[in-house]
Structure 1
Amino acid sequence: MFSLVVQMTVRPGRREQFLAGMAANAEASVRDEPGCLRFDVCSVEGDENRFLLYELYTDADAFAAHKASPHFARWRAVAEHVVESQVNTGGRLLHTHTSEESA
């Protein structure tokens, strides 16, 4: 499985716009993309403008399909206005242990 961790810093005053756009992107990704298994959006304690994303795809092709989706294009249009910096780290899921509860 292909995993992606994204670190983002949002421009001051753009947090709510970021959250709305990112929530729509994450929801559509899991709902509309068979290869998107997980899409978590996390805040960073102590800094309201920093976020971490954790995304899990069946494989790199599924991630490529994500980047080609209409909802990703809509997110990129929002991101141009709200994201100050971004670092993507792709990898492979090696082990997982979870006891999930709905957020």
Structure 2
Amino acid sequence: MKPVISKPRHAIMVMILVLTLFSFGKAAAQDKNQVVRIAKLQIDPAQLENYKAALKEHAETAVRVEPGVITLYAVAEKNNPTHITVFEIYANAEAYQAHLQTAHFKKYKSTTKDMVKSLELVDVEPIALETKMKQ
């Protein structure tokens, strides 16, 4: 019998944290200076594929070129794919502020401004971000 999850957002949050476990180092996870947040977005259904492409390009670039960007995970709800959740970890507040000033972030924001119907940013405090590194 499958468990019933009454809150889809809770399921997404759990999934994001599980993903984090697979790629985020234990020592880094314990850094109290990190900025950890969740972005909850609703995307215009007619623009969903374009939005996903822009987000993927942005996240890949940010993780590749910004040393202060530790993690950017983006997921869509299976039953409501226009609901996107992004789990973000930055080395510190300065890294987060620097991220907001990069050309690739500004490109992402300008490209997607008419695609995003709503955005909620939630600052969170990590409790346990443990991982097993790939061998």
TM surpasses 0.5:
yes
Q: Counterpart of 2:35?
A: 2
Please provide the CA RMSD for this pair: 1.5
Decide which structure has greater helix share. 2
| Counterparts in 2 of 1:84 and 1:41: CA distance versus 1, 3 Å | same
Give the structure-1-normalised TM-score. Answer: 0.90
Q: Shift of residue 96 of structure 1?
A: 0.7
AA matched with 1:4: R
AA matched with 1:28: T
**Kindly, what percent of the aligned residue pairs are identical?**
21
Give the structure-2-normalised TM-score. Answer: 0.70
Q: Shift of residue 68 of structure 1?
A: 0.4
Which has the higher Rg, Structure 1 or Structure 2?
2
Decide which structure has greater strand share. 1
Structure 1: gaps (5+ residues): none
Distance in 2 of aligned mates of 1:66 and 1:51: 20
Structure 2: gaps (5+ residues): 1-33
Confirm or deny that 1:22 pairs with 2:36: no
Please list every run of at least 4 consecutive aligned residues from structure 1 whose deviation after the TM superposition is greater than 6 angstroms. Answer: none
- Equivalenced residue count is 101
Confirm or deny that 1:88 pairs with 2:114: no
